[in-house]
Amino acid sequence: MNLNKARNEMITMSEQVCKDAEQWQRGIQNGQVAMKQIRTINLKLFSTENKLNNADSRKELQITEKRINQLYQRLQRPLATIDKILKTLTEIRDNTARMLSRLTLFLDDDTLAKHMITPKLESSKLLGVLQFLSHRYDAEWEVKEMVVNDLESISNSYELDLVMDCWTICSHAGGPEFSNVMREYYLIIDRRRPLVKSM
């Protein structure tokens, strides 16, 4: 194993952790915007579909059907956005798992196991952070994937509220414990830029 190359890769990993965490949070926040659009359009769809069932004339039926088609077309854009966001979250999750795997391999070497990546960051600390993030991203990603997969089959406002909550509430890659781990990590690597503020 080339030790210098491994040390350089660890530096890159230590920086990538922050970039990925910030991109993850931006993705969640952008997803919240898309989810609000999806919710608004779906509520209009539910209301319009009720009008379709109560249409008294052929003309009213045609107007209502046209409105439903327009709403379905409008719905496609935020659905595409949320799908793209999930792909980004997938890349972050996979990249974190890859970094964890690489670092675990590096730390089999005694010299690298004791290596200080930065003046305050030991390689073992980076390993702990990557283990934490890999576990958290994986669990959160599963929730987000379920949300995205269920979006097109929502049939009522209860289901809509449920998927909204599942997207918004980030109990795995969010919350106080996650924030504390990331805050501590930012302090260790002297990164001044805070995580993206929550909405």
| DSSP letter string, 59-70 | HHHHHHHHHHHH
Q: What is the pLDDT of residue 199?
A: 38
User: At 198, is the pLDDT very low, low, confident or very high (cuts 50, 70, 90)?
Assistant: very low
Question: Does the pLDDT value for residue 66 go beyond 60?
Answer: yes
- Give burial (CB, 10 Å; 0-12/13-18/19+) of 68: middle
Rounded to whole angstroms, the Cα distance separating 153 from 144 reads: 15
22-60: burial string, b at 16+ Cβ within 10 Å, e else: bbbbebbbebbebbebbbebbebbeebeeeeeeeeeeee
Share of the chain above pLDDT 90, in %: 79
User: At 56, is the pLDDT very low, low, confident or very high (cuts 50, 70, 90)?
Assistant: confident
Question: Does the pLDDT value for residue 196 go beyond 80?
Answer: no
Token pair of 25, please? 């949070």
Least confident window among 84-88, 116-120, 192-196: 192-196
Per the prediction, the chain carries an average pLDDT of 92
Q: Using the Cα atoms of residue 70, residue 76, residue 81 and residue 85 in order, give the sign of their dihedral.
A: positive
Mean pLDDT computed over 132-147 = 96
Kindly report the three-state secondary structure assignment for every residue of 111-155: HHHCCECCCCCEHHHHHHHHHHHHHHHHHHHHHHHHHHHHHHHCC
Mean pLDDT computed over 95-116 = 95
How do residues 124-139 score in pLDDT, each as one tens digit? 999 999 999 999 999 9
Asked if 180 and 52 touch (Cβ cutoff 8 Å), the reply is no
Question: Does the pLDDT value for residue 89 go beyond 60?
Answer: yes
